Structure formats: C-alpha cells, structure tokens
Amino acid sequence: MARFEGSDTPVVSVTPLAVAKFREFLKNSPNAHVRLALIEGGCSGFLYDLQIVHSPIAPTSRVDRSNGFAIVVSPEHVIYLEDSTIDWEIQPDGNAGFKFHNPNALEPTDTE
C-alpha cells in the first residue's frame, strides 16, 4: 500500500496493472503528475476524478511517489479515499478503465 509524504497513514494502493497504465499515460509528460480527487455526483454522492496535470503541487497536498510517478490528493479528500485501491480493469467487451475499490464508499442502490 502506498504511503503519502508527510504521513505514516496508508491512503491508497495501486495495482500493478494500474501502475503500468499510469506510466503509459505519463511517459511523454515527465513533469506531470496524477491528481486524484472527488467531485459531487453519482449514487453515493461522489465520483472519482483522475487527471494528468502539469500544475505545481500544492504544499498541503498528500503526494505518493512510490510507483515512480506522483499521485496527488488534496487533504480534504484523504478521509474518503483511505484504504482504497485503484485497479485497471478490462471488460469482456473490450472496454477498459480505472476501477476503484473503496471500503469507505456507500453501497450502490437501485436508482429506478
């Protein structure tokens, strides 16, 4: 599990498949980092937002560099992301994307 700079508390883990995909996305942007955030929306109240950004990292942000690139999380989102896992998932139909496993998330409900 990755540990963030300035903290002994584990926040997120990144599977080997997700690490490989992040590295692929970042290979032509050596000064970029991954920003992981939450935005309001979805059945549980939040959606995950992953972005490749080139802007400076805020000094209050939590930064994980354990996989050879930086994943940056703002301090106010850490409590919601703690103990989560980011994976890369390929569906049988060929669609692929990052998948979040978050023990802090509410179970999805039917939205009929």
Q: What is the pLDDT of residues 15-65, one digit of tens each?
A: 999 999 999 999 999 889 999 999 987 665 788 999 999 989 988 889 888
Contact 4, 62 (CB under 8 A): yes
pLDDT at 111 over 50: no
pLDDT at 2 over 80: no
Closest by CA position to 55, among listed 65, 70, 40, 75: 70
Give dist(CA 27, CA 76) in Å, integer.
29
Burial of 93 (0-12, 13-18, 19+ CB in 10 A): exposed
Give the helix/strand (H/E) hosting 49. Answer: strand 46-53
